[in-house]
């Protein structure tokens, strides 16, 4: 066969970062789906608010302390998360290990404080529709948080034990992208659960 009629791809890299990789697209697919879930849950919150004379219908709004503490922890976790991503893109295994472990410590701290958040909501899921939607939103976010913490834990163990190849660094980078989704989705949720009942 003549050389002009073929396209040789044997010298191309066998993996790539960012929007060149399939993992990036798959992760964004998950973010779109779950982002839509959060948006619909928040819309439900504001929809139900229209059916009540006062908001919350009874009792006080959620106590600010633990939710705000978690906002700080989550935003702070952005640093180790981003450094883990950068280290993965440099394929610097030592730095990847360090920043993944630091990131995990933030996640665990967040989950512990989340345990104090539920009792501080000043409502209960079977009290009224307000309580139902507040619990549902907080549980949805917690599920994402725990899932990504487990993901990160598995990746971290893999980074220490192997087997490793270049493509695994792409997994670390895309895991960081997903963590950003968990972090940034908390901002509108925090504003809704904690600030909306006080300000609106």
| Residue burial 121-145, b: 16+ Cβ < 10 Å; e: rest | bbbebebbbbbbbbbebbebbbebb
Q: Where do we find the tokens 């440099």?
A: 90
Q: Where do we find the tokens 């929007």?
A: 19
Q: Per CB under 8 A, which region of 63-71, 75-83, 108-116, 120-128 contacts other proteins? A: 120-128
Enumerate residues 52-91 that contact other proteins by CB under 8 A. Answer: 52, 57, 86, 89-91
Q: Which residue among 76, 98, 122, 125 contacts other proteins (CB under 8 A)?
A: 125
Distance of alpha carbon 182 from alpha carbon 197, whole angstroms: 23
Q: Which residue among 114, 141, 144, 168 contacts other proteins (CB under 8 A)?
A: 168
Q: Which residue among 30, 101, 111, 184 contacts other proteins (CB under 8 A)?
A: 30
Cα three-residue angle 104-169-84, rounded to 5 degrees: 40
Q: Where do we find the tokens 């539920």?
A: 118
Task: Supply the minimum distance, in Å, between the C-beta of residue 13 and other proteins.
Answer: 4
Q: Report the interface residues with other proteins, using CB under 8 A.
A: 5-22, 25-26, 29-30, 32-34, 36-37, 40-41, 44, 47-48, 51-52, 57, 86, 89-91, 125-133, 135-136, 150, 154, 158, 162-169
């Amino acid at each position: 066969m003549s050389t002009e009629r073929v396209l040789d791809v044997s010298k191309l890299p066998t993996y790539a970062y960012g929007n060149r990789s399939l993992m990036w697209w798959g992760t964004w697919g998950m973010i779109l789906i779950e982002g839509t879930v959060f948006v619909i849950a928040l819309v439900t919150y504001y929809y139900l608010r229209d059916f009540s004379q006062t908001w919350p219908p009874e009792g006080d709004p959620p106590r600010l302390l633990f939710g705000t503490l978690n906002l700080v922890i989550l935003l702070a976790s952005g640093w180790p998360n981003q450094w883990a991503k950068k280290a993965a893109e440099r394929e610097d295994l030592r730095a990847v290990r360090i920043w993944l472990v630091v990131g995990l410590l933030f996640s665990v701290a967040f989950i512990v404080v989340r345990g104090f958040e539920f009792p501080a909501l000043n409502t209960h899921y079977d009290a009224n529709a307000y309580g139902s939607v507040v619990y549902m939103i907080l549980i949805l976010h917690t599920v994402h948080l725990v899932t990504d913490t487990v993901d990160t834990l598995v990746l971290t163990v893999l980074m220490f034990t192997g087997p490793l190849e270049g493509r695994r660094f792409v997994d670390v980078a895309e895991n960081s992208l997903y963590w950003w989704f968990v972090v940034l989705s908390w901002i509108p949720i925090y504003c809704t659960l904690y600030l909306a009942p006080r300000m609106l």
